Amino acid sequence: MYRVLLAKFLPAALLLCMGNLKAAPAERSGVIAFPPSTAQKWILPNGLTIIVQEDRSAAVASVQAWCATGSIYEDQHLGAGLSHILEHMLFKGTKTRGKNEIAQKIQDVGGYINAYTSFDRTVFWIDVPKDGVATALDILADATMNSTLPPEEYQKEQEVIRREFAMGMDDPDRMAGLLLFATAYQQHPYRFPVIGELEIYNQLTQEQVVQYYKTRYVPNNLTFVVVGDVDAEKVRQQLAEAFKSYPEKSLKPVFVPAEPPQLGRREVHQEFSTELTHLSLAWHIPEVTNPDVPALDLLSTILGDGRSSRLYRRVREEAGLAFSISAFSYTPGDPGLFGIDATVDPKKREPAEQLALRIVDEAKSAGVTADELKKAKKMTLSHHLGALTTMRGQASDIGSNWLLTRDLNFSRHYLDAVQKVTLDDIKRVAATYLTENNLTVISLNPKGSLQMASLV
- Residue 195 DSSP code: T
**Residue 31 pLDDT level (bands cut at 50, 70, 90):** confident
Distance CA 228, CA 56 (A): 6
Q: Which residues contact 50 (CB under 8 A, 6 or more apart)?
A: 41, 42, 43, 44, 223, 224, 226, 235, 236, 239, 240
User: Quick one: which of 214, 171, 218 has its CA closest to 195?
Assistant: 171
Q: Provide the pLDDT for residue 21.
A: 52
- 4-14+39-242: CATH number: 3.30.830.10
pLDDT tens-place string over residues 318-356: 999 999 999 999 999 999 999 999 999 999 999 999 999
In whole angstroms, give the CA distance from residue 92 to residue 283.
41
Identify the pLDDT of residue 396.
Answer: 97
CB 322 within 8 A of CB 348: yes
CA distance 212 to 192: 18
Given a contact cutoff of 8 angstroms between Cβ atoms, the answer to whether 342 and 322 are in contact is yes
Residue 231 has pLDDT above 90, yes or no: yes
pLDDT at residue number 24: 44
- pLDDT, tens digit, for every residue of 166-214? 999 999 999 999 999 999 999 999 999 999 999 999 999 999 999 999 9
How much helix, strand and coil, in percent to the nearest 5, is found in the chain?
A: 45, 20, 35
Q: Cβ neighbours of residue 156 under 8 Å, at least 6 residues apart?
A: none
Residue pair 87/95 in contact by the 8 Å Cβ criterion: no
Q: Are 203 and 82 contacting, i.e. CB atoms less than 8 angstroms apart?
A: no
Measured CA to CA, the distance from residue 93 to residue 98 in angstroms comes to 4
CATH architecture of the region 266-455: 2-Layer Sandwich (3.30)
Number of residues assigned to the chain: 456
Residue 434 is classified by DSSP as S
How far from 356 is each of 311, 313, 339, 370, 421, CA to CA, in Å? 7, 11, 11, 21, 24
The SS3 assignment for 412 reads helix
Lowest mean pLDDT among 16-25, 79-88, 307-316: 16-25
Report which of residues 387 and 67 the model is more confident about. Answer: 67
Nearest to 422 by CA among 384, 382, 381, 376: 376
Q: How far apart are CA 308 and CA 228, in angstroms?
A: 37
Report whether pLDDT(22) > 50: no
Cα(364)–Cα(384) distance, integer angstroms: 26
Whether pLDDT at 26 is above 80: no
Percent pLDDT > 90 in the chain is 90
pLDDT cut 70: percent of the chain above it: 92
Question: Any idea what DSSP says for residue 370?
Answer: H
pLDDT beyond 80 at 119: yes
- What's the CA gap between 448 and 454, in Å, rounded? 10
Local structure of residue 98 (DSSP, 8 states):
B
Q: What is the pLDDT of residues 147-164, one digit of tens each?
A: 999 999 999 999 999 999
For CATH 3.30.830.10, list the domain ranges present in the chain: 4-14+39-242, 266-455
Q: Residue 235: which pLDDT band, with cuts at 50, 70 and 90?
A: very high
Over residues 416-442, the pLDDT tens digits come to 999 999 999 999 999 999 999 999 999
Task: Report the chain's mean pLDDT, rounded to a whole number.
Answer: 92
